[in-house]
């Protein structure tokens, strides 16, 4: 087998990180009409890392393929991924069906096989469901090693072993694992580039394969967890402004905080 990297980068369309989501009146979901959506920030970092790996190893990387499973509009974020440097992409149109990480991982497993990918780079979590599941699940289903919460990735060209520095609770640790491998990105892995206008124009000419959930009929998209309700967290009552350090200390004493 010739040594080549075929990188798969799954990306998710989520409500923009700067927007405070509103729960709908029925308490069943989050209001989505008229809300700004963008690429999940961790996935942006994943795309950037894939492109940087190619910049560091020009001959090694054969292809960077982006994939998104979501509404038809998810093609917008795939275009962004193409503009940032992905070569090809697949939109798996799920319409309004929201998939749980387990179903996403099962579909991605099939995409990995189809693309013959040997490195999958995903965001560590999506900022909407906050699950932090999909990468680990995909690694489990593929029986590949996993390097989660990556803060630094180095790939040895001759051995195809990746050295990954991971963010852990007390600091960081470095592990090494041979490809094929699943990596999930932490915030500090890199600073994603902006898609320039010329690159956005070029991205329109790059290929986008379109599939639907029906193409993965062997994967059940029935949710395993039933969301009974969504509610706003209890709001904190507005506090008071104090004028001096002494007043602050008195207040803290009065509520026995010190």
Partner 1 sequence: MYAAFCRSSVSFQAKLLGKSNLRFASTLVFVESTKDGKIAQSSLSALSAASQLGNPVAALLAGSASGKAAEELQKNPGSASLQQIFVAEEHAYDHYFAEKVTPLTLELLKDPEYTHFVVAGSAVGKSILPRLGALLDYQPICDITKIVDATTFVRPIYAGNALATVKCSQDKKLISVRASSFPVTAGEASTASISKAPPVSQVSELAVKWEGENLVKSARPDLGSASKVVSGGRGLKNKETFDSLVTPLADSLGAAIGATRAAVDSGFCDNSLQIGQTGKVVAPDLYIGLGISGAIQHLAGMKDSKVIVAINNDQDAPIFQVADYGLIGDLNEIVPELTAKLSQIK
| Touching partner 1, residues 158-217 (CB under 8 A) | 163, 166-178, 186-188
Whose Cβ is closer to partner 1: residue 208's or residue 219's? 219
Backbone angles phi, psi at 69, to 5 degrees: -115, 115
- Which whole-number Å values give the CA distances from 4 to 61, 69, 186, in the listed order? 6, 26, 25
Whose Cβ is closer to partner 1: residue 76's or residue 128's? 128
**DSSP β-ladder status, 181-185 and 146-156:** parallel
Whose Cβ is closer to partner 1: residue 175's or residue 200's? 175
Tokens 């387990």 belong to residue: 102
**Number of amino acids touching partner 1 (CB under 8 A):** 80
Whose Cβ is closer to partner 1: residue 197's or residue 243's? 243
**185: closest CA among 5, 40, 16?**
40
In angstroms, what is the minimal distance from the CB of 182 to partner 1? 10
Which window, 75-83, 112-120, 200-208, 237-245, contacts partner 1 (CB under 8 A)?
237-245
Chain positions 215 to 234 lying near partner 1, rule: CB under 8 A, are 223-233
| DSSP H/E element including 149 | strand 146-156
| End-to-end alpha carbon distance in the chain | 66
Chain positions 82 to 141 lying near partner 1, rule: CB under 8 A, are 100-102, 105, 124-125, 127-141
Q: Is residue 248 a contact residue for partner 1 (CB under 8 A)?
A: yes
Q: Is residue 52 a contact residue for partner 1 (CB under 8 A)?
A: no
The residue from 34, 36, 58, 143 that contacts partner 1 (CB under 8 A) is 143
Secondary structure class of 9 (helix, strand, coil) = strand
Whose Cβ is closer to partner 1: residue 75's or residue 110's? 110
Q: Which DSSP letter does residue 131 get?
A: -
In angstroms, what is the minimal distance from the CB of 246 to partner 1? 7
Secondary structure class of 211 (helix, strand, coil) = strand
In angstroms, what is the minimal distance from the CB of 247 to partner 1? 8
Tell me the three-class secondary structure of 16-74, residue by residue. Answer: CCCCCCCECCCCCCECCCCCCEEECHHHHHHHHHHHHHHHHCCCCEEEEEEEEEECHHH
Whose Cβ is closer to partner 1: residue 40's or residue 90's? 40
Contact at 8 Å (CB) between 84 and 201?
no
The residue from 5, 15, 78, 203 that contacts partner 1 (CB under 8 A) is 15
């Amino acid at each position: 087998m010739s040594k080549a990297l075929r990188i798969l980068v799954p990306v998710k369309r989520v409500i923009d990180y700067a927007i405070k989501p509103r729960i709908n009146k029925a308490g069943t979901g989050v209001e989505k009409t008229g809300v700004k959506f963008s690429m999940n920030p961790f996935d942006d970092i994943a795309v950037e890392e894939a492109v940087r790996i190619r910049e560091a190893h020009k001959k090694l990387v054969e292809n960077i393929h982006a994939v998104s499973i979501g509404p038809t509009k998810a093609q917008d974020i795939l275009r962004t991924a193409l503009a940032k440097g992905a070569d090809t992409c697949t939109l798996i149109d799920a319409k309004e069906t929201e998939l749980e990480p387990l179903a996403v991982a099962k579909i991605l497993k099939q995409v990995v096989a189809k693309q013959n990918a040997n490195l999958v780079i995903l965001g560590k979590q999506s900022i909407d469901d906050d699950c932090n599941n999909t990468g680990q699940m995909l690694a489990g289903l593929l029986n590949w090693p996993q390097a989660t919460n990556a803060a630094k990735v180095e790939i040895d060209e001759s051995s195809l072993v990746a050295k990954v520095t991971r963010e852990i609770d007390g600091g960081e640790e470095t592990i090494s694992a041979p490809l094929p491998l699943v990596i999930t990105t932490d915030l500090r892995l890199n600073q994603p580039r902006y898609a320039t206008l010329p690159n956005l124009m070029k991205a329109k000419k790059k290929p986008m394969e379109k599939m639907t959930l029906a193409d993965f009929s062997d994967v059940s998209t029935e949710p395993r967890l039933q969301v009974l309700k969504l509610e706003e967290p209890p709001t904190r009552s507005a506090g008071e402004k104090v004028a001096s350090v002494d007043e602050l200390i008195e207040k803290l004493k009065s509520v026995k905080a010190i």
